[in-house]
Amino acid sequence: MALAVPLGLLALWELLARLAVVSPRYFPPPSRVSTALVDGFTEGDLGGETLVTLTRLALAFALAAVPAVPLGLLMGMVKQVREAVEPYIAVLFPVPKIALLPFLMILLGVGEPAFVLTGAISAFFQITISTLAGVQTMDPRLLDVGRNYGAHGARLFTRVILPAALPAIFTGLRLGLGLALVAIVVVEFIAAKSGLGHLVYRHWQTLSTPQMYGAFALVGALGLLLTRGLRALQTRMLVWQEDPGRL
Amino acid sequence: MSRGPGWLAQHWLTVASPVALLIGWEVASAVGLLREAFFPRPSTVLVHLRRLVADGTLLGHALPTLSRIGGAFALAAILGVVTGLAMGLWRRLREGLDPVFAVVYPIPSVLFLPFVSFLVPRGETALIVTTAATSFFLIAFTTTEGVRQIDPLVVEAARHYGARGRRLFTAVLLPGALPFIFTGLRLGLGYALIVVVAVEIVSASRGLGALLWLSWQVLKVEDMYATFLVIAALGAVLSYGLAALRARLLPWAQDVAER
């Protein structure tokens, strides 16, 4: 049942394109798009381009997560750090991160460091904010109980604070990964000369629409795989948390 | 939120840290520690911002951006709330559309631009429809959740008291879903700004995104910073302004995103 509507839509598209009700030049039938996808992987360089995007994504994600989680934890535990850092996060969080790309390209040149860093910054704020929220919203009774049983310092942190904040941290990582993917693909579309985002742009410019829709669908599949996969992982790993949420 | 001297004494770091950064930046650029070509002094940026405002350049680029955000947000809000309500009310529709949305939602809006430009006239319409895409999905998602999380007991009780059809909808379902709908609208408006800047970078000659990109291409670094400031201010107004509005309009409900 869940597959009926998507399959029906695809069949309708196929039919309309075949009968030339919609222009097959701009809206090629899904069968031709899937042929183009298969050809792209077997004969073309679609696998390579996908790998380029995934590599950028992995680098961006690592560059964001490694500083963001400790910063969020520190902000949650030390008031002075929180107060000193909060204004920057408040100002920069709602800014479209793609607007940082020109600055990074001026500083670092037009190339991988600027592309990857734009993705990393997109994820960084989300992960920091989620981690901070994880520490701030933990039940204060947990802290009291931990202290009463003699935990403080490192022990209080590893046994009480970290496990309590972990679900929020994981949510932050999951959302951050999604944001990094969006930023990387957009950067590729705008400025890079490789990757799935660039493929959509290039095939748009040359009007090779089956390839264009193929790359487009691949981005969607990648996004779905990452978000759904991570959510499944989250429910399995962090059994003590409540519902990980929908978005 | 009383911001008297007491607030300042308690949170002096929140003010001191940005002020110190700006002064440090100013001094470092002035003495050549930072290269002024990349990090122009904040005071220089302000001078350029003043000039952009005075000669009307900024307004000429800000107005198209604002009208695109307005158009895209209106489109996304109307279609998103209607779709979300329908998906919340009818299980079959929800189960049918869920997988479609799940695939399409994670695709960045800018990537819809080619597809949209085949569908509707190029230019302004294509820009607005593309900008609306991600906001639409967000608003539809949150509205669906809003309807679904209503306590079935409340609906049951309303039915017992004779509410059905339109009355059940306007008196029970809509108010029950409203906090979620508002959160969706707030997030959707924020996304409209994010997307419009990217879309303008790709394919507009006017707009704040276009101004930023043009300033980069001709290496007018001070204008880049000035434009960035305006975009950041717009982002702050849109997200914090709406959050404040929600607190006023829906005082009985906590923001769903803050739970």
**Residue pLDDT, tens place only, A68-100:** 999 999 998 888 899 889 888 888 888 888 999
User: What pLDDT is stored for residue A218 in this prediction?
Assistant: 93
- For residues A39 and A27, what is the distance between their CA atoms, to the nearest angstrom? 19
Contact with chain A for residue B229, Cβ under 8 A: no
Q: How many residues does chain B have?
A: 259
Asked whether the beta carbons of residue B193 and residue A94 sit closer than 8 angstroms, the reply is: yes
Give the mutation candidate from B15, B39, B118 for the A interface (greatest A CB count, under 10 A): B118
Smallest CA–CA distance, residue B162 to chain A, in Å, is 33
Chain A residues closer than 8 Å to B16 by CB: 84
What is the spatial distance between Cα A67 and Cα A75, in angstroms, rounded to a whole number? 12
Facing residue for A246 by CB, picked from B11, B141, B216: B141
Give the closest of B11, B141, B193 to A96, CB-based: B193
Closest partner CB to B238 (pick from A94, A97, A106) = A94
With a cut of 90, say whether residue A243 has pLDDT above it: no
Alpha-carbon distance A150 to nearest alpha carbon in chain B (angstroms) = 30
**How far apart are the C-alpha atoms of A107 and A105, rounded to whole Å?**
5
Q: Does A220 touch chain B (CB under 8 A)?
A: yes
Distance from CA of B106 to the nearest CA of A (A): 5
Beta carbons within 8 Å of A240's beta carbon, 6+ residues apart: A163, A167
Closest-CA distance of chain B to residue A159, Å = 24
Composition of chain A by helix, strand, coil, percent to 5: 80, 0, 20
Give the sign of the dihedral formed by CA B208, CA B69, CA A56, CA A76. positive
Q: Which of A88, A99, A227 is nearest residue B197 as measured by Cβ atoms?
A: A99
Inter-axis angle of helices A196-205 and A46-77, to 10 degrees?
130
**What ipTM was reported for this prediction?**
0.83
C-beta neighbour count of A86 within 10 angstroms: 17
Backbone angles phi, psi at B55, to 5 degrees: -90, 10
Number of CB pairs, chain A paired with chain B, less than 8 A apart: 143
Distance, in Å, from the CA atom of B117 to the CA atom of B115, rounded to the nearest integer, reads 5
- How many angstroms separate the CA atoms of B235 and A176, rounded? 19
pLDDT digits (tens, 9 = 90+) for A87-137: 888 888 888 889 999 999 998 989 999 999 999 999 999 999 999 998 888
CB distance B106 to A224 below 8 Å: yes
User: Alpha carbon of B44 to those of A92, B37, B229, B241: distances in Å?
Assistant: 21, 11, 13, 29
Give, for all 259 residues of chain B, the pLDDT tens digit: 445 567 777 778 888 888 888 898 888 888 888 888 888 899 989 999 999 999 989 999 999 999 999 999 999 999 999 999 999 888 888 888 888 888 888 888 889 999 998 988 888 999 999 999 989 999 999 999 999 888 888 888 888 887 777 888 888 888 888 888 988 998 899 889 989 999 999 888 899 999 999 999 998 999 999 999 999 999 888 878 877 877 787 776 666 554 4
| Cβ neighbours of A87 in B, within 8 Å | 14-15, 17-18
Measure B240 CA to nearest chain A CA, in Å: 9
**C-beta atoms of B97 and A5 within 8 A:** yes
Cβ B201–A190 below 8 Å, yes or no? Answer: yes
Residues 36..95 of B with a Cβ closer than 8 Å to A: which?
38, 95
Report the pLDDT value the prediction gives residue A246, as an integer from 0 to 100: 45
Q: Are B47 and B223 in contact (CB under 8 A)?
A: no
Rounded-to-integer distance, Cα B55 and Cα B35, Å: 28
User: Are the Cβ atoms of B108 and A103 closer than 8 angstroms?
Assistant: no
HSE toward the beta carbon, residue A149, CA cutoff 13 A? 9
Instruction: Chain A: give the shortest CA distance to residue B39, in Å.
Output: 9
Instruction: Of A160, A64, A60, give the one whose Cα is nearest residue A115.
Output: A60
User: How far away is chain B from the Cα of A109, in angstroms, using its nearest Cα?
Assistant: 12
Partner B, chain A 15-74, Cβ-Cβ below 8 Å:
23, 26-27
Q: How far is CA A121 from the centre of its chain?
A: 11
Which residues of chain A neighbour B102 with C-beta distances below 8 Å?
A: 224, 228
CB B111 within 8 A of CB A197: yes
Q: Which of residues 163-182 of A touch B (CB under 8 A)?
A: 178, 181-182
The answer to whether A185 contacts B111, with C-beta atoms less than 8 Å apart, is: yes
Asked if the C-beta of A85 comes within 8 angstroms of chain B's C-beta atoms, the answer is yes
